[in-house]
Amino acid sequence: MASIKDEKDDRDDSDADDIDRDSESDKSSTTTDSSDASDSDDSSEMDAEECERRRNELLDAIADLERQFATLREQLYRERIMQVKTQLEEVHDGTAKEYRQPLEELQQNMKTRIEVAGVLRKLRLENIDNNYKAEEMAAKQNFENEKLRLFDSMKEDLEEKIRRLDEDRNSIDFQNDLYSSEKSKKQSGKIWKKKSSDSSRRKPVTVTGPYIVYMLSEADILDDWTEIRKSLSKKQVDRKYAARSYSRPTLTSRVW
């Protein structure tokens, strides 16, 4: 029973405490409401000042950043200008890495092309020299051939003229011989008629060796004799020309 009573007393005490806390909370809420109204007025004034102060600070920071940016930009510009000038001087002096490697490649290409051009020049000069020698040799051989050809043609013409003159001379001599023989025959015929009576009494004369009995006229005999002499002279000329052409050195063929 004592315990039940104690529990009841404890419950009553807790209820009383709750009532007291509620009353205190009501009092504090009323006081808080009044203080909040006064604080809101003060905080609005403080917020405007704080915003203006923050705004000024931010404007100062932005201006400072702009000054720093302009300074850094000018410094970067000067550094880039100096770098470009330095590279340009290195290019003029021939010490720049970006310039030396392509320059070495160009120099190597130039040397190679100069060597190729030298070899090509040498070969072309040799070709021109060979063509000149070939043309010179061909011109000399052509000259020798034409000279021999002209010599042979003139020689043939002269030999033909000589042959004709010989034939004319032989024909004239033969005609003179025939004329003289006819004349002598006529004269001997007269004498033979006078002495026919005496010669008939003589013994016949025996003829030894070959003899020719002419059954042709004098004109036919003269023509045959002329043709024989022409053929003989022509054979002699052909034989001499063949012997000369056989002993003549052969010419080399033309070299191109």
Closest CA to 163 of 100, 235, 214, 211: 235
Res. 158: pLDDT tops 90? no
Other Cβ atoms closer than 10 A to 230: 16
The Cα–Cα gap between 250 and 155 comes to 19
| pLDDT average, residue stretch 194-213 | 49
Res. 191: pLDDT tops 50? yes
| pLDDT of amino acid 181 | 63
| pLDDT average, residue stretch 95-112 | 86
| pLDDT of amino acid 210 | 43
Higher pLDDT among residues 225 and 25, named by residue: 225
What are the structural domain ranges in the chain?
1-31, 43-95
Using a pLDDT cut of 90, give the percent of the chain over it. Answer: 26
| pLDDT of amino acid 209 | 43
Contacts 24+ apart (CB under 8 A), 125-129: none
pLDDT band of 120, cuts 50, 70, 90: very high
First to last CA, the chain: 155
The Cα–Cα gap between 252 and 145 comes to 11
| pLDDT of amino acid 19 | 54
29-82 pLDDT, tens per residue? 555 555 555 555 566 766 788 888 888 889 999 999 999 999 999 999 999 999
